[in-house]
Amino acid sequence: QCVAPDVVFHEEIVTINGGQRNTATWLPETLPIKAVVLISHGLNEHSLRYYGIAVALAKAGFAVHAIDHVSHGKSDGKRGIIADHTVLYNDFIAFGKSVRDQYPTLPLFLLAHSMGTLVAMKSINGIEGLRAVVLSGAAVFSGPAASSPFGIRCLYPLSQTSAAVCLTSITSVLDPGGSAAPLVIDELSSDPEELERNRKDPRVAPAMVTNKSAYELVKLIAEVKEEIPNITVPFLCIHGAEDKVALPKSSDYIYSNAGTDIEDRQ
């Protein structure tokens, strides 16, 4: 399903910062390459989940390069457990630099979704020459579909307290693979066919946020909030108004605090 007419698809395991990371590339078969797009995927998924937009971009003359983050997809690391959040963005910066070096004269763009937006925002100033960034479903504030303990929505407010953060730091050590909260698959998309593909995808991790991942993501979000004022490249936030996984106020927060001059917002 990742192969399409007029598009050249390639998947390869490469060494990045000493780890084995799976990468995917979509190139126009006959059209000259006019620009390059990096893709940063979300929690528990992988780069091939973006084959639809990657194929569309390749057919329009873009070279598309994506990476499976550590512990995701076919990359190494225990599936579903983010052992160190800094590896996420250090890997992506190294990956972005390697792609940029392949196309030193072409415009470079970055497309990120959900958890991938956190990785992207920590990477933006580490990848020289980024022309613009698209952040889809930015995850600065997690919602009840991703952060409700035991899946009980009425407990969601407790997950946003400092006491919960302290508890998560403890459980991340005592039971790193345990479930901090289930991830409600039905909230990931309004498209039933897309939800079914997600459920059947062998590269997608189980639908939960593990204790260790939850704690690492809490630390990552804190770093991202500090980094947002340093973001000066043009960017676009796209967010579903009914998103219960990553709250829409995440995009509002980025628009309000980024260092980029904001021309228009709806």
Q: Which residue has the higher pLDDT, 160 or 134?
A: 134
CA 25 to chain centre: 17
pLDDT higher than 60, residue 265: no
Name the pLDDT band for 154 (thresholds 50, 70, 90).
confident
Average of per-residue pLDDT across 10-21: 97
pLDDT given for residue 171 in this prediction = 86
pLDDT band at 63 (very low <50, low <70, confident <90, very high): very high
Q: How large is the average pLDDT for residues 53-79?
A: 97
The pLDDT value given to residue 183? 86
Find out whether 206 and 182 touch, Cβ atoms under 8 Å: no
Closest CA to 115 of 213, 202, 37: 213
- Give which of 133, 140, 131, 115 is closest to 252, Cα–Cα: 140
Q: Are strands 19-28 and 7-16 parallel, antiparallel or unpaired?
A: antiparallel
Report, as an integer, the average pLDDT of 151-159. Answer: 76
Q: At 61, is the pLDDT very low, low, confident or very high (cuts 50, 70, 90)?
A: very high
Give the side-chain half-sphere CA count within 13 A for 93: 15
Mean pLDDT of the chain: 92
Q: What is the pLDDT of residue 134?
A: 98
Strand partners, 134: 111, 236
7-257 CATH pick, 3.40.50.11900, 3.40.50.1820, 3.90.1300.10, 3.30.70.100: 3.40.50.1820
CA distances to 187, 201, 237, 241 from 266, rounded to whole Å, are 23, 34, 10, 11
- Do the beta carbons of residue 122 and residue 227 sit within 8 Å? yes
Q: What pTM, to 2 d.p., does this model score? A: 0.93
> φ and ψ at 144, to 5 degrees?
-65, -20
What is the percent of the chain with per-residue pLDDT over 70, rounded to a whole number? Answer: 97
Query: CA angle, 199 as apex, 197 and 202 as ends, to 5°?
Result: 90
% the chain with pLDDT above 90: 74
Distance CA 266, CA 249 (A): 13
Q: What is the pLDDT of residues 186-207, one digit of tens each?
A: 888 889 999 999 999 999 988 8
Please say whether the beta carbons of 65 and 92 come within 8 A.
Answer: no
pLDDT confidence bin for 266, thresholds 50/70/90: low
Helix/strand/coil (H/E/C) assignment for every residue in 59-90: HCCEEEEEECCCCCCCCCCCCCCCCCHHHHHH
Q: Say if residue 233's pLDDT is above 60.
A: yes
* Distance between CA atoms of residues 246 and 139, nearest Å: 5
CA distances from 128 to 14, 124, 220, 233, 234 (A): 21, 8, 22, 11, 14
What is the average per-residue pLDDT within 86-108? 98
Residue 73 pLDDT > 90: yes
Q: Where are the domains of the chain?
A: 7-257
